[in-house]
Amino acid sequence: MDAASIIKEVTKDGFAKHYDELHWEGSFEDYLNMVVERPQIARTAFQRVADMILSYGSDTYTEYKKKITRYKFFEDPIDNGKDAVFGLDVHIQKLVNVFIAGANRYGPEKRVVLLHGPVGSAKSTIARMLKKGLELYSRNPEGAMYTYTWTNLNEVLGMEDEMPSPMHEEPLKLLPSERREQVLNMLNKNRDRAKRVYVEGDLNPACRFVYSELMKHYNGDWNKLIQNHIKVRRFVLSEKDRVGIGTFQPKDEKNQDSTELTGDINYRKIAEYGSDSDPRAFNFDGEFNVANRGIIEFVEVLKLDVAFLYDLLTASQEHKIKPKKFAQTDIDEVIIGHTNEPEYRKLQNNEFMEALRDRTVKIDVPYITRLDQEMRIYKKDFNPETVPHIHIAPHTVEMASMWAILTRLEEPKKANLTILQKLKLYNGRTIPGFTEDNVKELRKETNREGMEGISPRYIQDKISNSLVVDKGEGCINPFIILNELESGLKAHSLISDDEVRKRYKELLSLVKQEYENIVKHEVQRAISADEGAIEKLCGNYIDNVKAYTQKEKIRNPFTGAEEEPNERLMRSIEAKIDIAESRKDDFRREIMNYIGALALDGKEFDFRTNERLHRALELKLFEDQKDTIKLTSLVSKVVDKEAQEKIDVVKNRLIKNHGYCEVCANDALGFVASVFARGDVVKSGAKPS
């Protein structure tokens, strides 16, 4: 590699050509021709945001008999998932519906979009995604945007020769108000509502001043004004350059100044133009000015001083702002804010803020309540690529996620349902006696589910801390993380109620018990994972079932004598999957009918295709083998060579089939051995999540 190859890499793929496209310049007539061909270049801010989101595509799925649209934009294809939002498809769909309705001018374009939810629920991430998406969209051909610059001004008006539109306004605003309606009717003839061109409002004060002076100079000849003094140019949105994207964050209430939103006087230019009321001596650089034609984000919007909130009222409803010493100025932008619970409750209780509440579209952004989606948050940050030096044991992220979600769920009102079962139902698991309609009812009967509980940030911090401390000597397991989560509760800044802290600890105990069941189940499967032994046991079982259903005897392979089917063997397997004595005949006939149907099709029966029977055979084999393996000898640390060889086989199965490493496989076996040593064995038919 040398300097020449690096430079070539920078300039490849038409880099210079793309730069030229982004800095296109032309006449007003050129621009009008483009609008006739592609009216979308003159879109409103809401239309642009909606089109940007839709350009990434979407798919639909059904949950609880309701069709839900998943917008791929919020998976962050721009930065390979860096800001991806998980588990909030329903709420994001509501947000996108607001943008689409605003794009069609149904009303939301005159509202403040307010993202409301607890800390760490992805409100800021959603706003950041929208700003980032708009930036990139404006650089693409389908998202191209245009504004104008005044030229040749020195000779006519005695001022600087060029003056860009300070608010990057739509060039069609230069159409005389007396003729604008007729022109728009021509442009919109035979066009669908979504593709129509809308131009509202007047020029900003500085451009209005120049326009008026030039019209005087040309005695009302608008055509000469346009030909001699207007240059249309393409521009791109950029938060860093403060072009089309604004962000406002409240500061100390005593230091807040409304000019931060609407611009301020340029005192240096007062000497040049002679008056502080000359619009050319004004800086249109407030956040509302900067965000014109794009989007403005209000961070913690309800912490704003009341005077700022009044600015929001006219900015949202009338699309106007009031710069100091000038008339109201038209803007076109999406106003999005986000706030936490305490500030929103304050807004609800403040009778003087009725006007703002009336102009607000609230979108709830709660915590995730689905386990698999919560896990995606942490797996994005903690995986073999991001943490190559430490192994994260199986179920570590799952158990941390499980606890986080349990803290957010409300206790079920149904007496026969535990909160852990509720979590599993929400995650798509089936539980006898509960249908999709029941799960839908469970969600409906809650008041604030997902609006309280542990933030993902707390989980991320504790996982990070565990990785740094590395108590597991190169591998962290669920017990390390759960203990870390529990120890941090004492100093958790957002938990002031001892009852809440006590409940969270109880839920941690519940998660630890669930993990114990899971790891015992996996060790059981590893012990009984000898496919040959399972197949032999299955063949024995099927032979006995066949003889039983056909009322025949079975030949003893050792003595050759004809014997009755082995009822004890059959029941020992069937009991593992809770087949009652009264149902054994039905179950056995079902098995034989199934085998017979396969035979007619020329197929052979495979126990692996029957999950329940497969599980029952595993449990039976485990029961028969666990004593021969002498797993409990691990606790005493006195293991003979033969037992050690069998234990190594089990350990290798854990590593190969379940994602364990040498360290956590030993930990899992040691833990399960201690359980067996005290006589605590999983109920034979129990199967954890």
pLDDT in tens, 612-634: 788 788 888 877 776 656 565 55
- Which comes out higher in pLDDT, residue 641 or 137? 137
Run of H or E including 45: helix 45-54
Distance CA(338)–CA(336), nearest Å, equals 7
Q: Residue 187 carries which side chain, given as an amino acid letter?
A: L
pLDDT at 621: 81
Nearest to 666 by CA among 631, 641, 619: 631
Q: Could you give the percent of the chain with pLDDT greater than 90?
A: 55
Domains of the chain and CATH, by start: 17-366 (3.40.50.300), 371-525 (no CATH), 526-677 (no CATH)
pLDDT band at 685 (very low <50, low <70, confident <90, very high): very low
- When pLDDT is averaged across residues 89-113 and rounded to a whole number, the result is 95
How many other β-carbons are positioned within 10 Å of the β-carbon of residue 542? 17
pLDDT at 101: 95
pLDDT at 247: 94
Q: Which DSSP symbol is given to 253? A: G
Nearest to 167 by CA among 196, 126, 198, 203: 203
Q: Are 83 and 126 in contact (CB under 8 A)?
A: no
- The b/e string for 249-267 (b: 16+ C-beta within 10 A; e otherwise) is ebeeeeebebebbbbbbbe
pTM: 0.86
In this predicted structure, the answer to whether residue 429 has a pLDDT above a threshold of 90 is no
Average pLDDT value over all residues in the chain: 88
Helix and strand numbers (H, E) in the chain are: 30, 19
pLDDT at 682: 46
Run of H or E including 619: helix 611-629
pLDDT at 689: 44
Q: Is 107 left (phi over 0), alpha (psi -120 to 50) or beta?
A: left
- When pLDDT is averaged across residues 253-272 and rounded to a whole number, the result is 81
